Amino acid sequence: MGEGHSTRTLYIRNLNRKLPIREVKRRLGLLITRFAKILKIKMSNKPKLLGQAFVHLDEEITNEILGNLDGRFFLGNVISACPAHEDMCIGKRRPIVSTRTLLITDIPSPVTKGDIEDIFRGFGGLEGIRFIGVKSLAFIDFSTPEDASTAYSYFADGWVRHIHGNMKIAPSA
């Protein structure tokens, strides 16, 4: 992989522009899951970005994955695949959070309030955790929006990784 390139995000271009984005994403997902687990596929409907996709993988990009995708005939076009310059370039999230509270969702059932507290204890300004186990979510309260922003930007891909499973993180409204 080249210097400055992502190790987990593929950039794929020359995808079929005539099919609906949802269908291209579905079929692209079916193709890539033969080689690696996918966390997210991002495509844009802006005219300049049609026919391009960013695929965020659960593992490092290997030469095997690139070799199987680059130059492959897919949906009527020969596609080109390479590591992205940055992770998930389309619709990149802003790391600045205007709220003091972060929301964690999709919490696996074995995860406890103590586990979540252990994850966020290292970030400054942690005030408290409101854990709602039956709803599989938690609110993480910080003393300032800057502290919340620091914690949020640490999980830049939007996922908190834990031994029992991954959890989504987002600013609370």
pTM of the model: 0.50
Going by the DSSP 8-state scheme, the letter that residue 58 receives in this structure is: S
CATH of domain 101-171: 3.30.70.330
As a whole number of angstroms, the distance between CA 132 and CA 164 comes to: 17
SS3 164: coil
Q: Tell me, what DSSP letter sits at residue 134?
A: G
Task: Collapse the DSSP code of 11 into the 3-class scheme (helix H, G, I; strand E, B; otherwise coil) and give the result.
Answer: strand
pLDDT at 95 over 80: no
Which residues, in sequence order, are CB contacts of 49 under 8 Å at separation 6+? 43, 90
pLDDT tens digits, one per residue of 48-60: 888 888 888 888 8
Highest mean pLDDT: which of 55-59, 83-87, 90-94? 55-59
Q: Which residues contact 43 (CB under 8 A, 6 or more apart)?
A: 15, 21, 24, 25, 49, 52, 53, 54, 90
- Specify the 3-state DSSP secondary structure of 153: helix
pLDDT surpasses 60 at 89: no
Please give the CATH topology (third level) of the domain spanning 9-83. Alpha-Beta Plaits (3.30.70)
Q: Look up residue 7 and give its two tokens.
A: 């190790």
Q: What are phi and psi of 142, to 5 degrees?
A: -115, 160
105 — pLDDT class (breaks 50, 70, 90): very high
What is the structure's pLDDT at 3? 54
Q: How confident is the model over 113-167, as pLDDT tens digits? A: 999 998 888 888 899 999 998 899 999 999 988 888 888 888 877 888 888 888 9
Cβ pair 132, 113 in contact under 8 A: no
Q: Where in the chain is the domain with CATH 3.30.70.330?
A: 9-83, 101-171
